[in-house]
Amino acid sequence: MRIPRVHLTIPLHVGAAVELPPSACEHLLRVLRLSEGAPLLLCNGDGMDYRATLGEIGKRGARAQILEALPNHAESPLRITLAQALARGEKMDWVIQKATELGVAQIQPIVTERTEVRLDAERASRRLAHWQAVATAACEQSGRARVPTVFEPLTLAAYAAGVDADAIRLALDPDGDALSNALNGGALQNTTPIHIVVGPEGGLSERDHAQLRAAGFSGVRLGPRILRTETAGLAAIASLQTLAGDLR
């Protein structure tokens, strides 16, 4: 039986009894129908898994008793930031969920010239909280110990201007160079940040490409087929991790 994972935002240590959040209690008690003594795995983003048992169950919640701290080996060796153009409907949720499962470190929603989704400040705040919850749930499901940060949306220009100077910078482009050529045939270093830009449904415009080139991004293609916005970034992440040996 798969042991349920619960992400918490508090310090964890062996011997502690911690309150479980309402959302976790709802899932563990009402959906999974677990009883006291059931095994759990807790995590809080510090890179460790904490083996625990479901403790006292009350009318308003439940506690977990931490038994042991274990190193987590599910994290990707690559520090990938996915800069994803805002997508319509549930596509953004899909991208965030799957990118988290694949091991990205950060997700930066961006607004490009052809981006059709527009969010005012209130909607952006609500969507950001929702996206972070999607990433947290995907972390619990996939066995990761670190939840990727989902940042508030930025314009393409603002994002590109803030990329680390030593980062590998890739922009997906059907007319770009092969991925291996863009990397100059070199081995990927685990300490080097990697940024991947994915355009919207209509693709990156010439102005977008010009901004990215000026910021040091290389255009790369992923084979002979044109991929949808919700597919392209995931394919790029998997390709890079294959080159790094993460998917062996």
Q: What is the pLDDT of residues 69-93, one digit of tens each?
A: 999 999 999 999 999 999 988 999 9
pTM: 0.89
Cα–Cα distance between 227 and 173 in angstroms, integer? 10
Percent residues over pLDDT 70 in the chain: 97
Q: Is the pLDDT of residue 212 over 60?
A: yes
Structural domain range at position 28? 5-71
Instruction: Give yes or no: residues 110 and 203 share one domain.
Output: yes
Residues 35, 113 within the same domain:
no
**Claim to verify: residue 12 and residue 43 sit in the same structural domain:** yes
At 59 the pLDDT is 81
**What is the per-residue pLDDT for 189?**
67
Question: What band does 68 get if pLDDT is binned at 50, 70 and 90?
Answer: very high
Question: What is the predicted pLDDT for the residue at 122?
Answer: 87
pLDDT in tens, 130-167: 999 999 999 999 999 899 999 999 999 999 999 988 99
Residues 6+ apart with CB under 8 A from 239: 179, 222
**Continuous H helices in the chain:** 22-25, 91-102, 121-142, 156-161, 179-182, 206-214, 229-244
State what percent of residues in the chain have pLDDT above 90: 78
> Are 66 and 138 in a shared domain?
no
Higher pLDDT, residue 94 or 124? 94
Query: Which 3 state secondary structure label does DSSP give 201?
Result: coil
pLDDT tens sequence across 224-233: 999 999 999 9
> Of 50, 71, 92, which residue constitutes the final position of a domain?
71
Q: What is the pLDDT of residue 177?
A: 92
Number of domains in the chain: 2
CATH number at residue 154: 3.40.1280.10
pLDDT at 187 over 80: no
Encoded tokens for 26? 């709802």
Whether 234 has a pLDDT exceeding 90, the answer reads yes
Q: Report the pLDDT value the prediction gives residue 222, as an integer from 0 to 100.
A: 92
Quick one: average pLDDT of 176-187? Answer: 77
Same domain, 133 and 154: yes
What pLDDT sits at residue 120? 85
Mean pLDDT of 100-105: 96
